Structure 1
Amino acid sequence: MDLIAEVIPNQWVTGIGAGIISSIVAYLIAQRYLSWGGNKEYLRKVDTANKDVIYALRSIISDEFKFNVTPEMLSSIISANSVKHGVDQKDMYSPDQFIDALVKEVMDSNFLSVNTKMSYCTSIISLKIPLTPELEELSTIAPSIKLSQQSQLIKLSSLLR
């Protein structure tokens, strides 16, 4: 007991002990801060993947007067870009959000006439699948199922009735 009473007031022991404690606290704070950076990097990857899909779809528009992309092709493009960039597909835009972004891209262009813009937008918006009441009910029950799979499930359920 006398040894502890003599060691604690020693300036060397106190200084080294305080240095060790402050190092541990600094390490914990740095680890927390650096873990936030990893999330930012993932969000950058998702943003890049979204931009790549929009760029791919935009090049299809400029090549043809009609926008001839099926919902399955759009899903494939989204899936391929999610794999390419190493992100989860559910973190990317939905197909409807990509269609909306594409409409915005067309409307922002200064190089197209109003009639051409309207024609492009009409053909792009036709890609959106209108939700029937059955499809809307199924999308709320199982939101992780893709829209094309949901429509197939509805067809199967109507056959079973």
Structure 2
Amino acid sequence: GMLFQGTALFDSMTVGQNVGFGLERYTDFPQEEIKELVKENLAKVGLIGIESLMPYELSGGMKKRVGLARAIAYRPDIMLYDEPSTGIDPIRADAINDLVIRMKKELKVATLIITHDMVSAYKVADRIGMLYAGQIIEMGSPEEIKNSNNQVVQQFIHGRAEGPIKNW
């Protein structure tokens, strides 16, 4: 399953149609079963009774959760998250982080998260890989990353303009 940075919901479809999209397209499930799975997966992300709403009627945080419901509906073996906390306020970002942690535990799936948000990375990750210039320059637990001696890592995690990273 994939949760896109911009949620990638279909504007012309209802929330229910968005969540059921993969099930409609890639399974032979009867319509009633798909409707039940849509409700079940929306409930897992804390959204009840919104199947008939359109994406433009949702807040940014709700759109992220609808995107997550769609991603988990097909019962993936791996979950990929692209900047799940981008574009939402810190409180909703923390709620999304809690949801990612809960989904990881409930679904028992491998989870890969791409993020620039170190607060989220420290909270959600078991292991963090830091990329720079197309290479993994550091890999470790959140605590190991915080305590890294690598100057590029330190510049990034502390958000400093001064340091070895110059090309921006």
TM-score, normalization by structure 2: 0.30
Choose between structure 1 and 2: higher helix proportion: 1
Greater share of residues in strand = 2
**What's the TM-score once normalised by structure 1's chain length?**
0.31
Larger radius of gyration: 1
